């Protein structure tokens, strides 16, 4: 079996990870795997069944009943299926971010999703984005990038995205949520958000999307050739 190539992109929410990772995957002809969407799907189920994301026993009890699948549309966009239902839109609601952050702090949830993520990388060349891809999920990744930007820049981007979707959440609330999630994702005991020692730091605060993508492509190409 030939070994597949893998590119791990980690970083805080709103750094442009999904957009950039997807574009990078397209440029290289790799499969894009958005692992945040998988945690969001678990969070959605907690929300729908009235289970508080901090309620460890409650969330763990949901896991055996969860059939989570990834699919890819003709456009190459990843879609999430929860027990057969396409929940790709539903997981993007603003309140599901809080649920996803809560459930993702539980070691049982992370263990439940670990093999599934590794399996995808074993079967395809992937660009995988998340929080712990370079540190835990794919420590042997060929390329590791830690993508970040100042909290204000990330909150503004997220706010614009929500506005475009007709979500009227105000900027201050989005900024508070960004800071709050950074705090939770960085300080949790299991697989906290941190830069892998061998990851390249890419800060996009001052870069637009095109410049950020150019940066990632050049990092990836350089490391893949190394």
Binding site for ligand DC (CB under 6 A): 13, 35-36, 39-40, 97, 100-101, 104, 130-133, 181, 185
**Closest distance of CB 161 from ligand DC, Å:** 11
Closer residue to ligand DC, CB minimum distance, 28 or 130: 130
Residue 12: Cβ-neighbour burial (10 angstroms; 0-12, 13-18, 19+): buried
Closer residue to ligand DC, CB minimum distance, 2 or 139: 139
Distance CA 148, CA 41 (A): 24
Closer residue to ligand DC, CB minimum distance, 52 or 222: 52
CB under 8 Å to 80, separation ≥6 — which residues?
A: 37, 38, 40, 41, 68, 69, 70, 71, 86, 87, 88, 91
**Closest distance of CB 108 from ligand DC, Å:** 13
**Closest distance of CB 137 from ligand DC, Å:** 7
Distance CA 64, CA 45 (A): 12
Closer residue to ligand DC, CB minimum distance, 76 or 107: 107
**Closest distance of CB 1 from ligand DC, Å:** 25
68 phi/psi in degrees, rounded to 5: -110, 125
């Amino acid at each position: 079996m030939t070994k597949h190539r893998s590119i791990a992109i980690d970083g805080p929410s709103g750094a442009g990870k999904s957009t950039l990772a997807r574009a990078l995957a397209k440029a290289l002809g790799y499969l894009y795997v958005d692992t945040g969407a998988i945690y969001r799907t678990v969070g959605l189920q907690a929300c729908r069944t009235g289970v508080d994301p901090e309620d460890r026993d409650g969330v763990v009890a949901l896991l055996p009943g969860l059939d989570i699948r990834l699919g890819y549309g003709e456009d190459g966009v990843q879609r999430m299926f929860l027990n057969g239902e396409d929940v790709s839109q539903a997981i993007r609601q603003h309140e599901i971010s809080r649920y996803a952050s809560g459930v993702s702090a539980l070691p049982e949830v992370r263990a439940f999703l670990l093999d599934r993520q590794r399996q995808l990388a074993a079967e395809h060349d992937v660009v995988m984005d998340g929080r712990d891809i370079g540190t835990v999920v794919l420590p042997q990744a060929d390329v590791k990038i830690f993508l970040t930007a100042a909290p204000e820049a990330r909150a503004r981007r997220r706010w614009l995205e929500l506005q475009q979707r007709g979500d009227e959440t105000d900027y201050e609330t989005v900024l508070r949520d960004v800071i709050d999630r950074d705090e939770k994702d960085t300080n949790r005991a299991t697989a906290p958000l941190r830069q892998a020692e061998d990851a390249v730091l890419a800060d996009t605060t001052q870069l637009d999307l095109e410049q950020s993508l150019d940066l990632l492509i050049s990092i990836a190409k350089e490391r893949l050739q190394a």
